[in-house]
Amino acid sequence: MELSMIFTVCSALLLLSSSPSDAKTASPPLLSQSPAPAPAPDFVNLTDLLTVAGPFHTFLSYLQSTKVIDTFQNQANNTEEGVTIFVPKDSAFSAQKKPSLSNLTEDQLKSLMLFHGLPHYYSLAEFRNLSLQNPISTLAGGQYSLNFTDVSGTIHIGSGWTNTKVSSSVHSSDPVAVYQVDRILLPEVIFGTDIPPTPAPAPAPDIAIAPTADAPSADSDGKAAPSSQPKPSSSHRIINWGILIHVVLAISCGFLF
Protein backbone atom coordinates (compact mmCIF):
# COMPACT_ATOMS: atom_id res chain seq x y z
CA MET A 1 0.00 0.00 0.00
CA GLU A 2 2.74 2.41 0.95
CA LEU A 3 4.79 1.43 -2.09
CA SER A 4 1.93 2.14 -4.48
CA MET A 5 1.36 5.57 -2.99
CA ILE A 6 5.05 6.40 -3.25
CA PHE A 7 5.02 5.33 -6.93
CA THR A 8 1.93 7.45 -7.61
CA VAL A 9 3.48 10.55 -6.00
CA CYS A 10 6.74 10.13 -7.95
CA SER A 11 4.86 9.78 -11.21
CA ALA A 12 2.89 12.94 -10.50
CA LEU A 13 6.08 14.86 -9.72
CA LEU A 14 7.65 13.75 -13.02
CA LEU A 15 4.65 14.90 -14.97
CA LEU A 16 4.67 18.29 -13.28
CA SER A 17 8.40 18.82 -13.75
CA SER A 18 8.31 18.22 -17.55
CA SER A 19 8.07 21.58 -19.48
CA PRO A 20 5.46 22.10 -22.18
CA SER A 21 8.17 23.06 -24.70
CA ASP A 22 9.63 19.54 -24.51
CA ALA A 23 6.42 18.15 -25.90
CA LYS A 24 6.68 20.20 -29.04
CA THR A 25 8.52 18.86 -32.05
CA ALA A 26 11.66 20.81 -32.79
CA SER A 27 11.30 22.80 -36.03
CA PRO A 28 14.11 22.56 -38.63
CA PRO A 29 16.53 25.50 -38.75
CA LEU A 30 15.71 28.25 -41.26
CA LEU A 31 18.03 28.42 -44.25
CA SER A 32 19.07 31.85 -45.58
CA GLN A 33 17.81 32.34 -49.13
CA SER A 34 20.42 33.46 -51.68
CA PRO A 35 19.32 36.22 -54.13
CA ALA A 36 18.07 35.05 -57.51
CA PRO A 37 20.60 35.45 -60.32
CA ALA A 38 20.15 38.41 -62.62
CA PRO A 39 18.39 37.55 -65.88
CA ALA A 40 20.66 37.17 -68.88
CA PRO A 41 20.58 40.14 -71.29
CA ASP A 42 18.63 39.84 -74.49
CA PHE A 43 21.32 39.44 -77.12
CA VAL A 44 20.80 41.06 -80.50
CA ASN A 45 20.91 38.66 -83.42
CA LEU A 46 22.97 40.65 -85.91
CA THR A 47 21.92 38.55 -88.88
CA ASP A 48 18.23 39.13 -88.19
CA LEU A 49 18.83 42.81 -87.50
CA LEU A 50 20.71 43.49 -90.74
CA THR A 51 18.21 41.45 -92.73
CA VAL A 52 15.18 43.52 -91.75
CA ALA A 53 16.68 46.89 -90.74
CA GLY A 54 17.54 48.29 -94.15
CA PRO A 55 19.17 47.81 -97.54
CA PHE A 56 22.24 46.02 -96.10
CA HIS A 57 22.05 42.73 -97.99
CA THR A 58 25.41 43.11 -99.75
CA PHE A 59 27.26 43.95 -96.55
CA LEU A 60 25.56 41.05 -94.72
CA SER A 61 26.52 38.69 -97.54
CA TYR A 62 30.19 39.70 -97.16
CA LEU A 63 29.99 39.28 -93.37
CA GLN A 64 28.62 35.77 -93.74
CA SER A 65 31.05 34.64 -96.45
CA THR A 66 34.07 35.85 -94.42
CA LYS A 67 32.65 34.60 -91.07
CA VAL A 68 33.09 38.11 -89.68
CA ILE A 69 29.45 38.03 -88.58
CA ASP A 70 30.52 35.43 -85.98
CA THR A 71 33.30 37.74 -84.75
CA PHE A 72 30.88 40.64 -84.37
CA GLN A 73 28.29 38.42 -82.65
CA ASN A 74 30.85 37.02 -80.21
CA GLN A 75 32.09 40.53 -79.41
CA ALA A 76 28.52 41.56 -78.62
CA ASN A 77 27.51 38.52 -76.58
CA ASN A 78 30.63 37.37 -74.76
CA THR A 79 32.56 40.50 -73.88
CA GLU A 80 31.91 43.39 -71.53
CA GLU A 81 32.98 45.93 -74.18
CA GLY A 82 30.26 45.36 -76.75
CA VAL A 83 30.59 46.29 -80.42
CA THR A 84 29.98 49.21 -82.77
CA ILE A 85 29.38 48.45 -86.46
CA PHE A 86 29.30 50.83 -89.44
CA VAL A 87 27.05 49.41 -92.14
CA PRO A 88 27.22 50.65 -95.77
CA LYS A 89 24.02 50.58 -97.79
CA ASP A 90 23.65 48.39 -100.86
CA SER A 91 23.94 51.49 -103.06
CA ALA A 92 27.43 52.12 -101.64
CA PHE A 93 28.65 48.81 -103.02
CA SER A 94 27.04 49.32 -106.44
CA ALA A 95 28.64 52.78 -106.64
CA GLN A 96 32.11 51.50 -105.69
CA LYS A 97 34.02 51.25 -109.00
CA LYS A 98 37.62 52.20 -108.20
CA PRO A 99 39.25 50.64 -106.35
CA SER A 100 37.35 47.45 -107.03
CA LEU A 101 36.61 44.91 -104.31
CA SER A 102 36.65 42.01 -106.75
CA ASN A 103 40.47 41.89 -106.79
CA LEU A 104 40.84 41.42 -103.03
CA THR A 105 42.09 38.17 -101.51
CA GLU A 106 40.04 36.32 -98.90
CA ASP A 107 42.21 37.70 -96.08
CA GLN A 108 41.95 41.25 -97.42
CA LEU A 109 38.19 40.99 -97.75
CA LYS A 110 37.92 39.69 -94.19
CA SER A 111 40.08 42.56 -92.92
CA LEU A 112 37.91 45.00 -94.88
CA MET A 113 34.80 43.71 -93.11
CA LEU A 114 36.47 43.80 -89.69
CA PHE A 115 37.50 47.37 -90.49
CA HIS A 116 33.82 48.33 -90.17
CA GLY A 117 33.65 47.33 -86.49
CA LEU A 118 34.96 48.85 -83.26
CA PRO A 119 35.67 46.63 -80.21
CA HIS A 120 33.49 48.76 -77.95
CA TYR A 121 29.94 50.02 -77.73
CA TYR A 122 29.72 53.74 -78.53
CA SER A 123 26.56 55.81 -78.39
CA LEU A 124 26.31 58.80 -80.71
CA ALA A 125 26.96 61.16 -77.81
CA GLU A 126 30.29 59.44 -77.07
CA PHE A 127 31.77 60.20 -80.49
CA ARG A 128 32.40 63.81 -79.53
CA ASN A 129 34.98 62.73 -76.95
CA LEU A 130 36.16 59.90 -79.18
CA SER A 131 37.23 62.41 -81.83
CA LEU A 132 39.82 63.74 -79.37
CA GLN A 133 41.51 60.30 -79.26
CA ASN A 134 42.09 59.77 -83.01
CA PRO A 135 43.05 57.45 -84.58
CA ILE A 136 40.75 54.71 -83.23
CA SER A 137 41.65 51.05 -83.77
CA THR A 138 39.10 48.72 -85.33
CA LEU A 139 38.52 44.99 -84.99
CA ALA A 140 40.81 44.49 -88.00
CA GLY A 141 43.90 45.40 -85.94
CA GLY A 142 46.12 48.26 -84.90
CA GLN A 143 47.03 49.60 -88.33
CA TYR A 144 43.39 49.53 -89.41
CA SER A 145 42.26 52.72 -87.73
CA LEU A 146 39.59 55.37 -88.28
CA ASN A 147 39.38 59.08 -87.56
CA PHE A 148 36.22 60.69 -86.22
CA THR A 149 35.11 64.30 -86.17
CA ASP A 150 31.95 65.79 -84.72
CA VAL A 151 30.57 68.60 -86.88
CA SER A 152 27.54 70.19 -85.21
CA GLY A 153 26.38 66.79 -83.94
CA THR A 154 27.02 64.92 -87.21
CA ILE A 155 29.68 62.20 -86.98
CA HIS A 156 32.16 62.22 -89.88
CA ILE A 157 34.43 59.22 -90.50
CA GLY A 158 37.74 59.25 -92.34
CA SER A 159 39.79 56.26 -93.43
CA GLY A 160 42.20 57.87 -95.89
CA TRP A 161 40.36 56.64 -98.96
CA THR A 162 36.91 57.34 -97.59
CA ASN A 163 35.29 60.38 -96.08
CA THR A 164 31.70 59.74 -95.08
CA LYS A 165 29.31 60.34 -92.22
CA VAL A 166 26.85 58.50 -90.03
CA SER A 167 23.55 59.03 -91.81
CA SER A 168 21.29 57.20 -89.34
CA SER A 169 21.27 55.02 -86.23
CA VAL A 170 20.02 51.52 -87.03
CA HIS A 171 20.33 50.15 -83.48
CA SER A 172 21.92 51.66 -80.40
CA SER A 173 21.44 49.77 -77.15
CA ASP A 174 24.34 48.50 -75.07
CA PRO A 175 26.12 46.23 -75.98
CA VAL A 176 25.38 46.68 -79.73
CA ALA A 177 25.48 49.86 -81.83
CA VAL A 178 24.83 49.73 -85.59
CA TYR A 179 25.15 52.93 -87.64
CA GLN A 180 24.41 53.41 -91.34
CA VAL A 181 27.07 55.03 -93.55
CA ASP A 182 26.79 56.09 -97.19
CA ARG A 183 30.16 54.77 -98.39
CA ILE A 184 32.39 51.74 -97.87
CA LEU A 185 35.25 52.36 -95.44
CA LEU A 186 38.44 51.66 -97.42
CA PRO A 187 41.68 51.28 -95.39
CA GLU A 188 45.07 52.46 -96.63
CA VAL A 189 46.60 49.19 -95.40
CA ILE A 190 44.83 47.37 -98.25
CA PHE A 191 44.49 50.00 -100.97
CA GLY A 192 47.72 51.94 -100.42
CA THR A 193 48.43 55.59 -99.80
CA ASP A 194 48.23 56.72 -103.45
CA ILE A 195 44.81 58.24 -102.93
CA PRO A 196 43.37 60.09 -105.93
CA PRO A 197 42.43 63.70 -105.16
CA THR A 198 38.83 64.49 -104.56
CA PRO A 199 37.42 66.25 -107.66
CA ALA A 200 36.61 69.90 -107.10
CA PRO A 201 32.97 70.87 -107.38
CA ALA A 202 31.90 72.29 -110.74
CA PRO A 203 31.81 76.11 -110.82
CA ALA A 204 28.45 77.78 -110.96
CA PRO A 205 27.52 78.98 -114.47
CA ASP A 206 27.76 82.72 -115.18
CA ILE A 207 24.32 84.18 -115.73
CA ALA A 208 24.37 87.24 -118.06
CA ILE A 209 21.78 89.91 -117.32
CA ALA A 210 20.46 91.52 -120.52
CA PRO A 211 20.00 95.34 -120.37
CA THR A 212 16.48 96.69 -120.38
CA ALA A 213 15.40 97.69 -123.90
CA ASP A 214 13.79 100.99 -122.88
CA ALA A 215 16.56 102.12 -120.54
CA PRO A 216 18.98 104.61 -122.19
CA SER A 217 22.63 103.65 -121.89
CA ALA A 218 25.42 106.07 -121.04
CA ASP A 219 28.46 106.56 -123.26
CA SER A 220 32.04 106.82 -122.08
CA ASP A 221 31.68 110.55 -121.29
CA GLY A 222 28.79 109.90 -118.97
CA LYS A 223 26.24 111.37 -121.39
CA ALA A 224 23.04 109.54 -122.01
CA ALA A 225 22.90 107.84 -125.35
CA PRO A 226 20.03 108.75 -127.64
CA SER A 227 16.95 106.67 -127.32
CA SER A 228 16.59 103.75 -129.67
CA GLN A 229 12.95 104.60 -130.36
CA PRO A 230 12.32 105.53 -134.07
CA LYS A 231 11.77 109.20 -134.93
CA PRO A 232 8.54 110.17 -136.67
CA SER A 233 8.87 110.05 -140.47
CA SER A 234 8.12 112.89 -142.96
CA SER A 235 4.87 111.21 -144.00
CA HIS A 236 3.62 111.47 -140.45
CA ARG A 237 4.46 115.16 -140.39
CA ILE A 238 2.53 115.80 -143.70
CA ILE A 239 -0.55 114.02 -142.35
CA ASN A 240 -0.42 116.07 -139.14
CA TRP A 241 -0.25 119.36 -141.16
CA GLY A 242 -3.19 118.27 -143.29
CA ILE A 243 -5.33 117.63 -140.24
CA LEU A 244 -4.41 121.04 -138.82
CA ILE A 245 -5.43 122.85 -142.10
CA HIS A 246 -8.82 121.11 -142.11
CA VAL A 247 -9.45 122.17 -138.55
CA VAL A 248 -8.58 125.84 -139.36
CA LEU A 249 -10.86 125.86 -142.43
CA ALA A 250 -13.71 124.37 -140.44
CA ILE A 251 -13.42 127.10 -137.84
CA SER A 252 -13.26 129.83 -140.49
CA CYS A 253 -16.40 128.59 -142.22
CA GLY A 254 -18.18 128.66 -138.94
CA PHE A 255 -17.44 132.36 -138.51
CA LEU A 256 -18.61 133.18 -142.05
CA PHE A 257 -21.97 131.56 -141.66
Q: Does domain 46-190 have CATH number 3.90.79.10?
A: no
Rounded to whole angstroms, the Cα distance separating 101 from 109 reads 8
Question: Tens-digit pLDDT profile for the chain (257 aa)?
Answer: 555 565 565 555 555 555 544 444 555 555 556 665 555 456 899 999 999 988 999 999 999 999 999 999 999 999 999 999 999 999 999 999 888 899 999 999 999 999 999 999 999 999 989 889 999 999 999 899 999 999 998 999 999 888 999 999 999 999 999 999 999 999 999 987 666 555 545 555 555 555 555 545 545 454 545 554 545 555 555 455 556 655 545 555 554 44
Task: Give the H/E segment covering residue 163.
Answer: strand 163-173
pLDDT at 43: 81
For the stretch 176-201, what's the b/e string if a residue is b when 16 or more beta carbons lie within 10 angstroms of its beta carbon? Answer: bbbbbbebbbbbebbbeeeeeeeeee
- Asked if 148 contacts 136 with a C-beta cutoff of 8 angstroms, the reply is yes
Q: How far is CA 247 from CA 198, 252, 256, 257, in A?
A: 83, 9, 15, 16
> Between vectors from CA 114 to CA 56 and to CA 142, what angle results, nearest 5°?
150
The residue ranges of every structural domain in the chain are 46-190
